[in-house]
Structure 1
Amino acid sequence: MARNTERRSALADAGIRVLAEQGARGLTHRAVDVAAGTPRGTASNYFPSRDDLISALVGRIGERLTPDPTRLSSHAARTPDRDLFADYLRDVVRRLSTDPHVPLALFELRLEAARRPAVAKALGAWRQRAFEDDVAFNDESDLPGGRTEIALFHYAIDGLMLDNLTAPIDSGLSVDAAIDELVDRILR
């Protein structure tokens, strides 16, 4: 297997774009090579099977959604309260909104997980780890809410992102106002 991590990341980023733009059926090694501008066979060299490619995309999405340590440290100096919790949620939405290909690819993977057990296994393991990390972070930071509230926020943010990326309803709420309402209602 090829070891160039920069090229591997670039190929995974190209795969994320392909997945977001063409859906799971359009995700082929050849399509990734074309999107990355690499010679034919390069993606296959880095990701020998479709399952390897999908696992790499899941991992890369995780990397791209990882919080910025400096932003986390600036929040850590604040009092752990509802306002800080809302700011953490805004940061999650900001990271998801930075490149629409990332959440769209993630939604495509979730749909594919309903059809393919291997995708469900890879994506499910990553999502569960991310959820457990969020619960642990919330506990360690003394933020309000617990496991159930974190789950409710995951569900709500997924819906908010899907709505914003597809056919948004005109609720009259900005994203910030929606987050404030979610925090107020879930953390009563």
Structure 2
Amino acid sequence: MRQNPERRTALLDAAIEVLAREGSRGLTLRAVDKEADVPIGTSSNYFASRDTLLTQAGARVYERLLPDEATVAQQMSSAVGTEGFVYLMREAMTRISGFRTGYLALLELRLEATRRPELREVLTKRVRADMDENVERHLASGLPGDAVSVRLLQLTLSWLILEQLTLPDIMTDEERDELVTEAVLRLSAPSKRE
């Protein structure tokens, strides 16, 4: 297989675009070549199979969705209290929604993972690691809420992003921001069971 990292990245980015537009059934090595505007057969020099392409595209989506460590550190250090927590969640919604094709491709990959154990394994490890990292950062930050509230927020906001990207006219930006605020307030409040 070829080792040009820039070309591999460009092909994976093209695969993300194809997945978002055509779905997993439309993802072929030829379609990726066309999207990347490279000679037919180029993708097959980089990916041994469509399964390999799917798996590596899944990893690439996360590389592009997540902010770099410096950005995360800056955001976490400046977020204080419930207001800071709300700001972080709104920023995450805006950032993820801003990479529409990436999130839609990820949804396609998740559906495809129900049929492909190797892809399911990659996505399971990645999503679990992200969730654990989110919890760890949150607990270290001193922001309100516990591990359960962070997990619940991640799951809640994932569906809110899905609604926004697939049916954008369901709610206004103001309604979305209000829901994010309420989710943070309600899920990070001290438990009545304590």
User: TM-score, normalised to structure 1's length?
Assistant: 0.91
Which residue in 1 is equivalent to 2:180?
179
Displacement, 1:37?
Answer: 0.4
What is the distance in 2 between the residues matched to 1:80 and 1:48? 48
Which residue in 1 is equivalent to 2:89?
89
Superposition CA RMSD, Å: 1.8
Which residue in 2 is equivalent to 1:6?
6
AA of the residue aligned to 1:176: D
Q: Which whole-Å deviations, capped at 9, do the CAs of 1:39-82 have from their partners, x for residues lacking one?
A: 11211111112222112111111111121445434334435311
What is the distance in 2 between the residues matched to 1:41 and 1:138? 45
AA of the residue aligned to 2:182: E
Which residue in 1 is equivalent to 2:57?
57
Alignment of 1:100-111 (within 5 A): 100-111=100-111
Change (3 A) 1:125 1:39: same
Q: Which deviates more from structure 2 when the two are superposed, residues 145-154 or residues 163-172? A: 163-172
Which residue in 2 is equivalent to 1:24?
24
Aligned residues: 188
Q: Which deviates more from structure 2 when the two are superposed, residues 123-132 or residues 163-172? A: 163-172
For structure 1, list consecutive stretches of 5 or more residues without a partner in the other structure: none
User: TM-score, normalised to structure 2's length?
Assistant: 0.88
AA of the residue aligned to 1:158: S
Q: Which deviates more from structure 2 when the two are superposed, residues 62-71 or residues 6-15? A: 62-71
Q: Which whole-Å deviations, capped at 9, do the CAs of 1:89-112 have from their partners, x for residues lacking one?
A: 122212211221011001111111
Displacement, 1:140?
Answer: 2.1
Residues 58, 126 of structure 1: 8 Å contact kept? no
Q: Which whole-Å deviations, capped at 9, do the CAs of 1:126-148 have from their partners, x for residues lacking one?
A: 11111111111112222222221
Change (3 A) 1:91 1:68: farther
AA of the residue aligned to 1:179: V
